[in-house]
Amino acid sequence: MEPFKIKMVEPLPMLSREQRAAALRSADYNLFRLGADQVTIDLFTDSGTGAMSAAQWAALMVGDESYAGARSFFRFERVVGELTGHPHILPTHQGRAAERILFSCLLRPGQVSVSNTHFDTTRANVELIGGRALDLPCRAAAELDGKEPFKGNLDVEELESLLARGVDVGCVVMTVTNNAGGGQPVSMANLEAVRRVCDRHAVPFFLDAARFAENAYLITQREPGYESRAPRQVAEEMFALADGCVASLKKDAIANIGGLITLRSAELAARCRELLIATEGFPTYGGLAGRDLEALAQGLLEVTDPAYLRHRADTATWFADELESAGFPCVRPAGCHAVYVDARRVLPHVPARRFPAHALACELYLEGGVRGFEVGTLSFGRVLEDGREEEAPHELLRLALPRRVYTRSHLEHVVRSAAAVSARAGSISGYRITEAPRSLRHFTAKLVPA
Ligand code: F0G
């Protein structure tokens, strides 16, 4: 059961099927173009969509809004410092701002950033400064229903051979958990192995720590030797291995906005602070309000609660099991922040160039007002010079789980909607783009049923 009770409620928009069909048509069949009032259950993202606790709302009231030296910053700094052990702590307004500042100060043009998988904004920020973002996911990551417990791991042999060949690697960034790779965790053994390789070659090692607590919890559940460890303790060990981190605090700080850079190097911190002042704000607020810093500090203390994390992980596993029984096979084992439906297996007759995961997302919305996120050829493919469509490696529909927002009966509604969609899967057709920009097309593309 949920280890919390509900004190404040928000009504859900309830639309008829006809209203949903009209909404989808007027959104040009792009779920980014829907208004939130047209969505009943919004599983688009777990980012910035969590419900704050009573203690977080209370903390907002003591926020200190001083421009410099705000009391709220010092509380935030203390909480983050105790968690990470990193001495230099820079708040930013969200994760991608932290990425931009760190990579601008760390990488030279032409250098390579290696990751288990760069999240898309992380990749974009490496490329913006003329770097190259290279993903080295472990082999097990490609097997969607494989039983391997740590499919978020990095291929250490590949990293070693890259460095042995003399490739100019400017940093290694481990994304915990690996969002783009299906929300899969990274093991402590893998983090330690990456650390050793980085030490041998004097390469700085960072975490993209957006979902650090969920990764730490999955280590306690899946990695031999960590069964009796508290998630908080494991999280501290993960941070202890790194030279610093970037993080979107819109996830595991359970607040609606915020980001973070932590560093061990005073010299790198000084450079980042300069850029922070020029583009985000003074280092004691970094683009956030004092009240945000209070809510974030409180959220970072709450998120490693074992009862909360157990409920979250169990919910994701239960949800994946139920969806699978309803005819929506999911990536296994489930992580924490989302389940990923394998659209190719639900709609085998829809080719990648007709966006099967997008088609599934549209049908789930039509059926139950549920909004999911396409992770497939619409988002990650592109049109080649000869007009052909480059396909993404997988066609997934991500159903993200906002923190502390939806109860099990809300998710039961999603499962019933999935069963109805799956019962008529054979009659579902794909989509065709009628208008799209050259890059990041999924945000604004217009489509029609093919
Ligand atoms: N890193 C990871 C692993 C992320 O998942 C995200 C955002 C970011 C960085 C960027 O952080 O949004 O605060 O600027 N992920 C969201 C998602 C958008 O829906 O998965 P941000």
How much distance in Å is there from the Cα of 191 to the middle of ligand 1?
21
SS3 state of residue 184? strand
119 noted as active-site residue: yes
> pTM (2 decimals)?
0.97
Nearest CA to ligand 1 atom 19: 45
Q: Are 394 and 180 in contact (CB under 8 A)?
A: no
251 noted as active-site residue: yes
* Residue 238, pLDDT score: 98
Residue 239 to residue 179: CA distance in whole angstroms: 18
For helices 71-84 and 231-240, give the axis angle rounded to 10 degrees. Answer: 90
Of 76, 132, 41, 428, the residue nearest 260 (C-alpha) = 76
How much distance in Å is there from the Cα of 440 to the middle of ligand 1?
15
Q: Which one is catalytic: 119, 226, 355, 380?
A: 119
Q: Choose the residue to mutate in 47, 92, 175, 208 for probing ligand 1, maximizing ligand atoms within 8 Å of C-beta.
A: 47
208 noted as active-site residue: yes
For each of the domains in the chain, give its residue range(s) and CATH number, in order of start: 17-39+305-449 (3.90.1150.10), 54-302 (3.40.640.10)
Sheet strand arrangement including 338-342: 338-342, 396-400, 373-375
Q: Which one is catalytic: 210, 295, 352, 392?
A: 210
Atom from ligand 1 closest to the CA of residue 97: 14
List strand residue ranges (DSSP E) for 176-269, in order: 205-208, 244-248, 259-263
SS3 state of residue 227? coil
Q: Is 383 exposed, middle or buried (0-12, 13-18, 19+ CB in 10 A)?
A: middle
Q: Are 19 and 436 in contact (CB under 8 A)?
A: no
* Residue 438, pLDDT score: 79
How much distance in Å is there from the Cα of 47 to the middle of ligand 1?
7
240-245-247 Cα angle (round to 5): 130
Nearest CA to ligand 1 atom 21: 95
* Residue 382, pLDDT score: 78
32 noted as active-site residue: no
SS3 state of residue 374? strand
Q: Are 214 and 246 in contact (CB under 8 A)?
A: no
Q: Are 252 and 214 in contact (CB under 8 A)?
A: yes
SS3 state of residue 89? strand
How much distance in Å is there from the Cα of 296 to the middle of ligand 1?
16
Q: What is the dihedral of CA 221, 222, 226, 227, to 10 degrees?
A: 40
Residue 81 to residue 74: CA distance in whole angstroms: 10
Q: In the chain, what are the helix, strand and coil shares in percent, each to the nearest 5?
A: 45, 15, 40
Q: Are 261 and 246 in contact (CB under 8 A)?
A: yes
Atom from ligand 1 closest to the CA of residue 250: 13
Q: Which one is catalytic: 120, 282, 305, 410?
A: 120
209 noted as active-site residue: no
Q: Name residue 112's beta-bridge partners.
A: 132, 169
User: pLDDT tens per residue, the chain (450 residues)?
Assistant: 999 999 999 999 999 999 999 999 999 999 999 999 999 999 999 999 999 999 999 999 999 999 999 999 999 999 999 999 999 999 999 999 999 999 999 999 999 999 999 998 999 999 999 999 999 999 999 898 889 999 999 999 999 999 999 999 999 999 999 987 789 999 999 999 999 999 999 999 999 999 999 999 999 999 999 999 999 999 999 999 999 999 999 999 999 999 999 999 999 999 999 999 999 999 999 999 999 999 999 999 999 999 999 999 999 999 999 999 999 999 999 999 999 999 999 999 999 999 999 999 999 999 999 999 999 999 988 788 888 888 998 999 999 999 999 999 999 999 999 999 999 999 999 999 999 987 778 999 999 999
Map tokens 């999935």 to a residue: 418
How much distance in Å is there from the Cα of 222 to the middle of ligand 1?
25
Nearest CA to ligand 1 atom 5: 179
Query: Which residues does a 6 A CB cutoff place in the pocket of ligand 1?
Result: 45, 47, 94-96, 119, 121-122, 175, 179, 208, 210, 248, 250, 259
Residue 21, CB half-sphere, CA atoms under 13 Å: how many? 4
